[in-house]
Amino acid sequence: GNSVTQMEGPVTLSEEAFLTINCTYTATGYPSLFWYVQYPGEGLQLLLKATKADDKGSNKGFEATYRKETTSFHLEKGSVQVSDSAVYFCALSDRNEKLTFGTGTRLTIIP
Amino acid sequence: GAVVSQHPSRVICKSGTSVKIECRSLDFQATTMFWYRQFPKQSLMLMATSNEGSKATYEQGVEKDKFLINHASLTLSTLTVTSAHPEDSSFYICSARRGTSGYEQYFGPGTRLTVT
């Protein structure tokens, strides 16, 4: 079956640091890949997505590239802000459009 | 934007009682709604998919007689946990989608259920 593995948190960084949250997946076929973000007290929000190999998703300074050869979709941001503190979920969607999530990574940015 | 609400945000009930959780799409019509369950430090697990006016489709291992799902309108789906037990304590999250395929899912903030 499908599965998503992402780095365990929590992750604590200083403001303006470089961020990487690793995500690898196992799936049959050609899934779409997503990063969702959950701010305190709110529902999950789609941060970015990529639907085919070598696609790069980007939003709000975050980027992730769909790497089929390494089955990875790592999330990166060059300079994090305190407002980026949240829980980040990597996910995939199969052709049935069901989402499979990773366990989430809690990110805390210190001023 | 597309906003999904859940009510209540947290509920405590006694073992053996039933609890109903509501999921509403506030500013769009949701043809399809999903219910997820999340255990501490674990990922969201899809429980069931419901299309408006149809019976819900449950994932393998989810007891459909225990977790009753009703998607009676394009803006409301309910999850009823029947005869709740402490092991049903969890965080329940719903999401809603405008169409049956090719559309983004919008998530509610979740409901924390504690069964004593």
Per-residue model confidence (pLDDT) at position B45: 93
- Residue B43 has its nearest CB partner, among A42, A97, A103, at A103
Is A57 an interface residue toward B (CB < 8 Å)? Answer: no
Mean pLDDT within B8-22: 97
Which residues fall within 8 angstroms of residue A53, CB to CB, at 6 or more apart? A30, A66, A67, A68
Per-residue model confidence (pLDDT) at position A48: 96
Is B48 an interface residue toward A (CB < 8 Å)? Answer: no
Helix (H, G, I), strand (E, B) or coil at B87: helix
Per-residue model confidence (pLDDT) at position A84: 97
Helix (H, G, I), strand (E, B) or coil at A84: helix
**pLDDT tens per residue across span B27-73:** 999 989 999 999 877 789 999 999 888 889 999 999 999 999 998 89
Contact B54, B36 (CB under 8 A): no
Q: Are strands A99-101 and A86-93 parallel, antiparallel or unpaired?
A: antiparallel
Mean pLDDT within B72-96: 95
Average pLDDT, chain B: 92
Report the distance separating Cα B76 and Cα B30, nearest Å. 8
Nearest CA in chain B to A102: B43
Per-residue model confidence (pLDDT) at position B100: 66
Per-residue model confidence (pLDDT) at position A29: 83
**Percent of chain A whose pLDDT exceeds 90:** 84
Is A46 an interface residue toward B (CB < 8 Å)? Answer: yes
Q: How far is B19 from chain A (nearest CA, A)?
A: 21
For residue B45, count CB atoms less than 10 angstroms from its CB and return exposed for 0-12, middle for 13-18, buried for 19 or more: middle
Q: Facing residues of B30 across strands? A: none
In chain A, residues with a C-beta closer than 8 Å to the C-beta of B40 are none
Q: How far is B84 from chain A (nearest CA, A)?
A: 25
Is B107 an interface residue toward A (CB < 8 Å)? Answer: yes
Is A41 an interface residue toward B (CB < 8 Å)? Answer: yes
**What would the two tokens of residue A57 be?**
């998703």
Residue A15 CA: distances (Å) to CA of A44, A48, A75, A83, A105:
23, 22, 17, 10, 17
Q: How far is A73 from chain B (nearest CA, A)?
A: 17
Is A14 an interface residue toward B (CB < 8 Å)? Answer: no
Place of tokens 């007689």: B65
- Give A1's pLDDT tier (boundaries 50, 70, 90): confident
**pLDDT tens per residue across span A16-63:** 999 999 999 999 888 999 999 999 888 899 999 999 999 999 999 999
Report the distance separating Cα A52 and Cα B29, nearest Å. 29
Q: Residues B109, A23, A75, CA angle at the centre, nearest 5°?
A: 75
Per-residue model confidence (pLDDT) at position B104: 84
Mean pLDDT within A3-17: 94
